Amino acid sequence: MAKYVGLGITPEHSELLATENGAIVVSEAGLAILAYQTKNDLTLDETGNLRMVYDAEAVGEHARQRLMFFKGEWFLDPSIGVDWFGQVLGFASSRMQVAEAIVKRVILQTPGVTGLRQVSTTYDRAIRGVRIEGVEVDTEFDEPVIL
C-alpha cells in the first residue's frame, strides 16, 4: 500500500515563476503563460480517469504545489502558504538569498522529502519575479524526483 497518494498534474517539468501578479508557468519557448491557461491541470489516464501518483512521484507533486501556494490564498487558514509578497516580491534583487532560503525550507519541510540535491533560483528583472528551476529532491523512497 502506498504511503503517499496524490493526483497527477501536468506539466511535470515546468518552470515555476512567482511574480507580483501570482504564479505563472513559462513555456519551452520562454513565453509567460497565465496559470489558468497552463496545462497545470489534473491529468487523465488512458481510460479517462484521474491519474493517481504514488510515493516518490506524489511527494514531488506535493513539494511543487507547496511552492505555488501563496500565503493567505486559502480562506480557511490564511497562515499557510509561502509569503512571496511579504518577503520576496517587490523587493530588490538583493533579496535572492531570502528567496532561495524560502524555497529550500518549503521543499525540505514537505513530508516525504529527505534531501535537496539541487535548486536554482534567479531574479528575473523583466517580470520582477523569482525563477525557480532545476529542482531535484531525494525522497524517503530512495528515488530522486525532479520538480
Chain position carrying cell 507547496: 66
pLDDT tens across 98-145, in order?
A: 888 988 999 999 999 999 999 988 887 777 778 888 889 999 999 999
Q: 3-class DSSP state for residue 26?
A: strand
pLDDT tens across 70-82, in order?
A: 999 889 988 888 8
Q: Name the residue with higher pLDDT: 27 or 71.
A: 71
- Strands 15-19 and 129-139, by their bridges, are antiparallel
Nearest 5°: the CA angle 118, 124, 128 is 125
Cβ 64 vs Cβ 17: under 8 Å: no
- Distance, CA of 147 to CA of 145 (rounded, Å): 6
HSE, side-chain direction, 13 A CA sphere, residue 95: 18
Is it the case that residue 32 has pLDDT exceeding 80?
A: no
Cβ 24 vs Cβ 17: under 8 Å: yes
Cβ 16 vs Cβ 106: under 8 Å: no
| Percentage of the residues of the chain whose pLDDT score is greater than 70 | 78
CATH 3.30.499.10 fits 5-146, yes or no: no
Lowest mean pLDDT among 42-46, 53-57, 75-79, 107-111: 42-46
Lowest mean pLDDT among 40-44, 51-55, 128-132: 40-44
